[in-house]
Structure formats: C-alpha cells, structure tokens
Amino acid sequence: MVARDFEMALEKIAPEGWGWQHIEEGEENAPSHIRAALMGPQLVIPLRDGQMALGIWQGIFFCELDGPRTRSVLVTVLR
C-alpha cells in the first residue's frame, strides 16, 4: 500500500502529460527524471550488530521509474 501511495504521489507531482521540454524521440521519460531527482539516488542505513537498524514501520523500496531496465545496486559499508 505504501509503495502505491508513493507511486500515485509521484504521478501527481510529475505527470506524464505535462509540457516537458527535454523529450527525446523514443525516450519520453522526462517525468522519470524528475521523479528520480525528488526521491534521491542514495540512502544511508545504520547497522547494529550486522543488521539494518530499521524501525518497525521503516522499509526500503527499490523503484524503477523508467523501465523495465537492468540496474545495479552498489552497497558500501562504512566503519
């Protein structure tokens, strides 16, 4: 449910039919660029005893805003 709420909010904030200026033929993905910028490209998660220290209602969502495409996830652990 939360994922769908995010999706609906992003569709409302950056709708498909808006007068986007940076449209490339065959790659009509301007809304995806704006949506991705609003969400941010990175996340910092504290670790406790080798586990992610997330609260009861916290979760991590991987969002594909312009696809489907093959993506990679880079995980870096800082000590």
Distance CA 8, CA 4 (A): 6
pLDDT (0 to 100) of residue 54: 95
pTM for this model (two decimals)? 0.73
How would DSSP label each residue in 15-57? -TTS--S--BTTB--HHHHHHHHHH-S-----EETTEE---TT
Sign of CA dihedral 77, 46, 50, 41: negative
- pLDDT tens string 11-39: 999 998 888 887 777 667 888 889 999 98
